[in-house]
């Protein structure tokens, strides 16, 4: 049973968050401190001052509510999703999945152009029915009873698309965890999932890299990740311990998330606001806070570890549905050579973008929209 849903955060919740931010006991950081130590004190104070004095959650809430929201139970989990039905005679169903530390907020600027291209100078021939779910345990979706990973989430999303919404086939898109979920949709849920478009590569081949170019990528990848693995290790091994600090600290949650938006985005130096506005950053953070889901959202890392990690298969099978790869140059997880990717996916569309990072829909919405449309034209 599908139920309409509207976001309406109680005033008491907003006031509690505001009080905690206002009363945060600021502490020290190294005198030469910058982003290298994590989210810097100076920027956090600036952001929190804006949060208290200028940020308007009700305005952002109204912007999110301009879309049609629904809740539907799937295997005992209440899945929240936006459904924006496209124009024209045959809009292609498209499910777009977010990741961590993102949310549905990432996609607010691409939903209407994808569903209603004629309003933005395009053609209804390119229209999609756009479905944007909150991942289980994230945002406005219910939580699983224990951690689940992207493979199980793909199963739930396939059931949402086929059993609940009644589509016979669909296209899946995603970055971050959404890229892993889309990969599992293409691998295990074809032909219902007829094709996937990913802007990250999280999966790995059981045989590892082949040849000097791929081996050089693998070595450099591991070096690049040394200073980025801390959060991932914590959330994949002891997420509950972290939760006790975060669930009572809006400033702590903000700092934990903001650090990733700075280091994973295509910024001008360490100027996070060259890629993101304070309103955008705080709206995404508030989704975690008003739903009290920082804890359960981190469970996905534990869930993937239990599912077997990054391997799609141990017998060299790959995703055989048509796959589009959109490579944004500042992506945290650097893409391997195409030869490696093609052992994992049936690559039919390969785009190397001129700019952009991990949060492609927020950073470079037009580039992402154009690439999704171009790929989908080969499927219609």
CA distances, 173 to each of 139, 197, 199 (Å):
19, 5, 8
Residue 54 within any structural domain of the chain: yes
CA distance 373 to 207: 33
Which percentage of the chain shows pLDDT scores above 70?
100
Among 42, 44, 33, 356, residue whose Cα is nearest residue 200: 356
pLDDT at residue 33, as a whole number: 78
At 223, the pLDDT band (50, 70, 90 cuts) reads: very high
Average pLDDT over residues 98-123: 98
pLDDT at residue 228, as a whole number: 87
pLDDT at residue 372, as a whole number: 98
At 122, the pLDDT band (50, 70, 90 cuts) reads: very high
What angle (nearest 5°) sits at the alpha carbon of residue 332, between those of residues 326 and 337? 55
Name the region of 166 (left: φ>0; alpha: ψ -120 to 50; beta: rest). left
pLDDT at residue 172, as a whole number: 99
Question: For the chain, what is the mean pLDDT?
Answer: 97
What angle (nearest 5°) sits at the alpha carbon of residue 256, between those of residues 305 and 142? 60
CA distance 81 to 68: 8
pLDDT surpassing 90 at residue 227: no
pLDDT at residue 38, as a whole number: 94
pLDDT surpassing 90 at residue 118: yes
Buried b (16+ CB within 10 A) or exposed e, 15-44: eebeeebeebeeeeeeeeeebeebbbbebb
> CA 235: distance to chain centroid?
16
Residue 268 within any structural domain of the chain: yes
At 30, the pLDDT band (50, 70, 90 cuts) reads: very high
> CA 121: distance to chain centroid?
27
Buried b (16+ CB within 10 A) or exposed e, 276-309: beeebbbbbbbbbbbbebbbbbbbbbbbbeebee
> CA 6: distance to chain centroid?
21
Among 178, 217, 195, residue whose Cα is nearest residue 345: 195
User: Domain residues for 319?
Assistant: 3-21+33-377
Contacts of 229 (CB under 8 A, 6+ apart): none
Average pLDDT over residues 18-27: 97
Among 80, 76, 78, 56, residue whose Cα is nearest residue 68: 80
Average pLDDT over residues 345-349: 98
Residue 28 within any structural domain of the chain: no
Domain count, the chain: 1
Q: What is the pLDDT of residues 140-153, one digit of tens each?
A: 999 999 999 999 99
pLDDT surpassing 90 at residue 226: no
pLDDT at residue 365, as a whole number: 98
Which percentage of the chain shows pLDDT scores above 90?
96
pLDDT surpassing 90 at residue 265: yes
pLDDT surpassing 90 at residue 239: yes
Candidate from 25-34, 83-92, 208-217, 361-370 with smallest mean pLDDT: 25-34
Residue 225 within any structural domain of the chain: yes
Q: Is the separation of the CB atoms in 187 and 314 below 8 Å?
A: no
Which CATH number do you get for residue 323?
3.40.50.1820
Structure tokens at 128: 């999609």
Average pLDDT over residues 132-143: 98
pLDDT at residue 27, as a whole number: 94
pLDDT surpassing 90 at residue 351: yes
pLDDT surpassing 90 at residue 32: no
pLDDT at residue 90, as a whole number: 94
Buried b (16+ CB within 10 A) or exposed e, 137-169: bbbbbbbbeebbbbbbbbbbbbbbbbebbebee
SS3 104: helix
Among 265, 286, 251, residue whose Cα is nearest residue 43: 251
Q: What is the pLDDT of residues 292-328, one digit of tens each?
A: 999 999 999 999 999 999 999 999 999 999 999 999 9
pLDDT surpassing 90 at residue 133: yes
pLDDT surpassing 90 at residue 1: no
327 φ/ψ angles, rounded to the nearest 5 degrees: -100, 110
Residue 317 within any structural domain of the chain: yes
CA distance 177 to 175: 6
CA distance 368 to 348: 17
Q: Is the separation of the CB atoms in 187 and 196 below 8 Å?
A: no
CA distance 116 to 122: 8
Q: What is the pLDDT of residues 38-64, one digit of tens each?
A: 999 999 999 999 999 999 999 999 999
pLDDT at residue 31, as a whole number: 85
Residue 357 CB: number of other CB atoms within 10 A?
A: 23
Residue 26 within any structural domain of the chain: no
Residue 128 CB: number of other CB atoms within 10 A?
A: 28
């Amino acid at each position: 049973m599908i139920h309409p849903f509207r976001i309406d955060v109680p005033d008491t919740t907003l006031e509690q968050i505001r009080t905690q931010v206002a009363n945060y006991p600021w502490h020290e950081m190294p005198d030469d401190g910058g982003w290298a130590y994590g989210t810097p004190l100076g920027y956090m104070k600036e952001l929190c001052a804006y949060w208290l004095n200028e940020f308007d959650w009700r305005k952002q809430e109204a912007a999110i509510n301009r879309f049609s929201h629904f809740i539907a139970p799937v295997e005992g989990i209440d899945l929240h999703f936006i459904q924006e039905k496209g124009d024209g005679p045959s809009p292609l169903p498209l499910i777009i999945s977010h990741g961590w530390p993102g949310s549905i907020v990432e996609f607010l600027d691409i939903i209407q152009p994808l569903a209603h291209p004629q309003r933005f100078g395009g053609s209804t021939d390119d229209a999609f029915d756009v479905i944007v779910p909150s991942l289980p345990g994230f945002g406005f979706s219910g939580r699983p009873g224990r951690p689940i990973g992207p493979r199980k989430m793909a199963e739930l999303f396939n059931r949402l698309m086929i059993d609940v919404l009644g589509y016979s086939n669909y296209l899946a898109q995603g970055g971050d965890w959404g890229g892993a979920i889309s990969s599992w949709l293409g691998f295990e849920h074809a032909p219902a999932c007829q094709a996937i478009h990913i802007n990250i590569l999280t999966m790995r081949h059981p045989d590892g890299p082949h040849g000097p170019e791929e081996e050089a990528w693998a070595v450099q990848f591991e070096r690049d990740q040394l200073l980025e693995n801390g959060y991932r290790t914590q959330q994949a091994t002891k997420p509950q311990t972290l939760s006790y600090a975060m669930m009572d600290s809006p400033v702590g949650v903000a700092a934990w998330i903001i650090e990733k938006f700075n280091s994973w985005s295509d910024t001008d130096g360490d100027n996070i606001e060259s890629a993101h506005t304070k309103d955008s950053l705080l709206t995404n953070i508030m989704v975690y806070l008003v739903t009290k889901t920082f804890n359960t959202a981190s469970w996905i890392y534990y869930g993937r570890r239990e599912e077997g990690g990054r391997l799609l298969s141990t017998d060299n099978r790959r995703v055989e549905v048509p796959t589009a790869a959109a490579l944004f140059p500042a992506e945290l997880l650097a893409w391997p050579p195409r030869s490696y990717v093609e052992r994992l996916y049936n690559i039919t569309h390969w785009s190397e973008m001129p700019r952009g990072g991990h949060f492609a829909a927020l950073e470079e919405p037009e580039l992402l929209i154009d690439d999704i449309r171009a790929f989908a034209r080969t499927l219609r």
